[in-house]
Amino acid sequence: MLKKIQEWRGKETSKSSLTKEELLKHPIPKHIAVIMDGNGRWAKKRALPRIAGHHEGMKTVRKITKAANGLGVKVLTMYAFSTENWKRPKLEVDFLMKLPEEFLGTFLPELIEENVQVRLMGNKSDLPEHTLRAVEGAMEKTKNNTGLILNFALNYGGRDEILRAVKNVAIDLQNNTITTEQLSEEVFSEYLFSNQLPDPDLLIRTSGEIRLSNFMLWQLAYAEFYFTDVLWPDFEELHLYEAINSFQQRGRRFGGI
């Protein structure tokens, strides 16, 4: 039982020697969603301010994006800022709102070269103008790219998303745009922020926490979960390989036998 729990939580070993070539012998998840947790703890361990951890975590986003793209992953959704994160100290929130501008300002040429398409998922209305300008500018410049979709969940909350969808469904029902008979899981999914994306196959959460934290509650219904004690700034390509390797060893029955 202990061994099973350790496998479930993603207890990596330094002796792991997984290679890209080995992974490519088996199906690669089309959509990987990541809860990037542990930036603050990473900084605290080094007696640094929390914002230093967020800055280091930004570098990990770049590294993992390249690794996922190299494996042929179609969508990589990064939980960058939740609707609950506004409760954090103003200094930290302000820094987090500047990170997309710095990240995309620094790495956008590389993302374009890698054929990566940038997208945004979340409530745009509360985002600062400079944050939204940076992300939408990157979206415009990469809209014709055909490689990995790098989807940032920014000012995103799963309950908020579902509630917004319900309200919009109610409006369309009232306006006779759709009927109750037409409403199905597939139709309802069209009202979500992720309506142009497949549901995630694999969810990765770093830092040892084992919860969803209001992330993609509808879309993760049949995703495989992978939890690891590694803090996000320490998350390397090999850790991604180990998560995908764990995914490849699971039987996905979707309620069947």
What DSSP line would sit under 14-56, residue for residue?
TT----HHHHTTSPPPSEEEEE---HHHHHHHTT--HHHHHHH
Gap between the Cα atoms of 215 and 218, Å rounded = 9
Are β-strands 202-205 and 75-82 bridged in parallel, bridged antiparallel, or unpaired? unpaired
Torsion of CA 47, 52, 53, 57, to 10 degrees: -150
First to last CA, the chain: 23
Gap between the Cα atoms of 130 and 121, Å rounded = 17
Compute the average pLDDT of residues 124-142.
96
Burial letters for 17-28: b for 16+ Cβ neighbours within 10 Å, e otherwise? eeeeeebeeeeb
Gap between the Cα atoms of 36 and 235, Å rounded = 9
- Give 7's pLDDT tier (boundaries 50, 70, 90): very low
pLDDT tops 90 at residue 257: no
75, 68 contact by CB (below 8 A)? no
Does residue 226 or residue 17 have the better pLDDT? 226
Map out the domains of the chain with their CATH numbers: 22-157+198-248 (3.40.1180.10)
- Enumerate the active-site residues: 37, 85
Range name among 3-7, 104-108, 216-220, 224-228 with the lowest pLDDT average: 3-7
Compute the average pLDDT of residues 159-169.
98
Does residue 23 or residue 7 have the better pLDDT? 23
What count of other Cβ atoms lies within 10 Å of the Cβ of residue 62? 16
pLDDT tops 60 at residue 104: yes
Compute the average pLDDT of residues 115-132.
97
121, 156 contact by CB (below 8 A)? yes
Compute the average pLDDT of residues 127-134.
97
Does residue 10 or residue 24 have the better pLDDT? 24
Render pLDDT for 26-35 as a digit per residue (tens, 0 to 9): 999 999 999 9
**Which amino acid type is present at position 240?**
L
- Give 251's pLDDT tier (boundaries 50, 70, 90): confident
Nearest to 117 by CA among 80, 145, 76: 145
pLDDT tops 50 at residue 123: yes
Residue-level pLDDT at 97: 97
pLDDT tops 50 at residue 39: yes
Gap between the Cα atoms of 120 and 12, Å rounded = 31
Gap between the Cα atoms of 150 and 153, Å rounded = 10
